[in-house]
């Protein structure tokens, strides 16, 4: 099985998905025991770790399968991570995105942004918004605000 993304782009994880419950202590041990720390140098998995963390109290078989997919992705990308390099560019780049009401349990969006100085990643964030999505996606300007406020 070849894995190209930490989470499946086609399967949406929800709290009560109808699949059987699984061992919550083992699930918490993997998420909280290692993946939270790996998150510091692997921003590419931050969304997946954040999403899976939301099910630590009551994981199901589908959550366990998603966790195994993430671990399989990590096995194939052992040498990925944050690499700082000396470069002549002092340009600052900021990118942001949001999934519109991507949390199907609570209809909340997840906002993410990354900031680069030259080719070096210097700041990033991925968090669930505290308000419920109410506007259509084309009217959502909120994802642009966090990176601009930090600059």
Task: Say whether both 99 and 143 belong to one domain.
Answer: yes
Compute how many other C-beta atoms are within 10 angstroms of the C-beta atom of residue 49: 22
CB atoms within 10 A of CB 22: 17
Predicted local distance difference test score (pLDDT) of residue 148: 52
- Please tell me the distance from the alpha carbon of residue 91 to that of residue 43, in angstroms, as a whole number: 21
- Whether 120 is covered by a domain: the verdict is yes
Residue 100 within any structural domain of the chain: yes
State the residue range of the domain holding 143: 92-150
pLDDT tens, position by position, 19-60: 999 999 999 999 988 888 888 778 788 889 988 999 999 999
Is 9 among the domain residues?
A: no
Q: Is residue 129 part of a domain?
A: yes
11 in a structural domain? no
Three-state secondary structure call for residue 139: helix
Q: In this predicted structure, what is the pLDDT of residue 56?
A: 92
pLDDT at site 24: 92
* 98 and 51 in a common domain: no
pTM of the model: 0.62
Kindly state whether residues 104 and 131 are assigned to the same domain.
yes
In the chain, how many domains are there?
2
């Amino acid at each position: 099985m070849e894995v190209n993304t930490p989470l499946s782009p086609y399967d949406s994880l929800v709290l009560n998905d109808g699949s059987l419950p699984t061992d919550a202590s083992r699930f918490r041990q993997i998420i909280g025991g290692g993946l939270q720390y790996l998150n510091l140098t692997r921003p590419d998995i931050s969304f997946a770790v954040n999403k899976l963390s939301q099910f630590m109290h009551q994981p199901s078989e589908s959550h366990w399968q998603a966790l195994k997919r993430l671990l399989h992705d990590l096995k194939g990308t052992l040498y990925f991570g944050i690499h700082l390099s000396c470069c002549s560019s002092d340009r600052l780049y900021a990118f942001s995105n949001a999934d519109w009401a991507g949390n199907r349990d609570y209809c909340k969006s997840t906002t993410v942004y990354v900031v680069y100085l030259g080719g070096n990643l210097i700041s990033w964030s991925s968090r669930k918004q505290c308000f419920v999505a109410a506007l259509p996606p084309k009217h959502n300007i909120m994802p642009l605000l966090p990176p601009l406020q930090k600059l």
